[in-house]
Amino acid sequence: MERVILHCDLNNFFASVSLLYNQTLVGYPVAVCGSVEERHGIVLAKNEIAKSYGVKTAEAIWEAKRKCPELITLPPIYDRYSEYSEKAKEIYSRYTDIIEPFGIDECWLDVTGSIMLFGSGEEIAHKIRRDIKNELGITASVGVSFNKVFAKLGSDMKKPDAVTVISSDDFRQKVWPLPVQDMLFVGRSTVEKLNSAGVFTIGDVTLCDDAMLKRLFGKNGLSLKRNALGLDTSPVCDQSISEKPKSIGRSVTEGHDFTNNEEVWQTFIVLSEDIAKRLRRHGMYAGGIQVHTRTTDLSVKEFSRALENPTDISIKIAEAGMKLFKENYYWELPLRSVGIRAINLKDECVAVQQDLFGDVENERRQEKIEDSIHSIRQKYGDGVIKRGRVVDKK
């Protein structure tokens, strides 16, 4: 039986929810923006009126106001966004229990087993769209298709408050003429490479030689072609089933620029403690470390390295990250943000080979300290015990 997959996208989500609490601004161009004082002065979301002026998500507030001088900016209200996201999922759950979030405002739904109860995929999509509009006061666009990639594409095709069906019979006519950047997982660098090879539409991808795609993108190139051909078979993953993460990381933008190694080191200690806590929660070890930097001119670089001995000890994660940072960054510019990530994660049940020439006793001592800190924080809260190195920073 052919699958029936929906992709539900809550339209202009942040702006729509914010306007529910600012009814007098309905009918005006409005954008939800980060704090200029905290150096996050960008557009996070905009309503349809602001969109008509060319205001774009992630652009600086000053750029947005140059396009739309009448633009009204509102601060984000994240607790309300989370509340409405959960309310939308409650509506989805009336029609299926197979729901996969794709960010706070998007979800895939597998309704294959629900059509005998609620009608066709298109009928279910309209019911969900009406429920969201009537009960939450916001709108949603819903794509209906036989796989996740085309369902997502469908929800993007008509906005706001619309339903688009892409079937196995008509996807060639509807999908193949679209620009290649409209397809899921096709980013800017991928578009540039494809365009340079004379590939501009999704239909063009289907005509590409497998060897060329593999040369340009590795195995992802073959997946790209399969998706364009309508051969995506990835399941909608019920998020109530706990999944092991592929990586765990944290980054931070401070209220001032980072200008020296000591500031980065103190930050890595704080971030690594959170990473270690999450590793323990999932019963995993870091098999590698990745460091992220963003300079004051907004250029981003990432460096990574495998660890000889996988670890879930925060100080060892911080030390490995700092060593990698020092080897690769030479302070050509101050840093606006830094981050550290545990990668190549391994289950704790997998035997970890000890370094024959390492200090095994010191390793065990650090593990005991980490266990004790973890137990204290679990019982009394994260703020009850801190490393002396970061007290001044806090």
Active-site annotation, residues: 106
CB atoms within 10 A of CB 267: 25
What is the distance between the alpha carbons of residues 210 and 206, in angstroms, rounded to a whole number?
9
**Dihedral sign for Cα atoms in the order 235, 239, 244, 245:** positive
For 44, the token pair is 């996070």
CB 153 within 8 A of CB 178: yes
10 Å CB burial of residue 240 (0-12, 13-18, 19+) is exposed
What is the distance between the alpha carbons of residues 309 and 366, in angstroms, rounded to a whole number?
14
Q: Taking the C-alpha atoms of 265, 342, 354 and 358 in order, what is their torsion angle to the nearest 10 degrees?
A: -10
Angstrom distances, CA of residue 63 to CA of 67, 69, 71, 294, 298: 7, 10, 11, 21, 16
Strand bridging mode 346-347 / 284-295: antiparallel
CB 257 within 8 A of CB 240: no
For 21, the token pair is 């609490």
CB 101 within 8 A of CB 145: no
CB 339 within 8 A of CB 291: yes
Element (H, E) at 284: strand 284-295
Element (H, E) at 145: strand 140-145
Task: Tell me which residue of 347, 237, 234, 330 sits closest to 284, measured CA to CA.
Answer: 347
Q: At which residue do the structure tokens 């996988």 appear?
A: 310
What is the distance between the alpha carbons of residues 386 and 394, in angstroms, rounded to a whole number?
9
What is the distance between the alpha carbons of residues 328 and 84, in angstroms, rounded to a whole number?
43
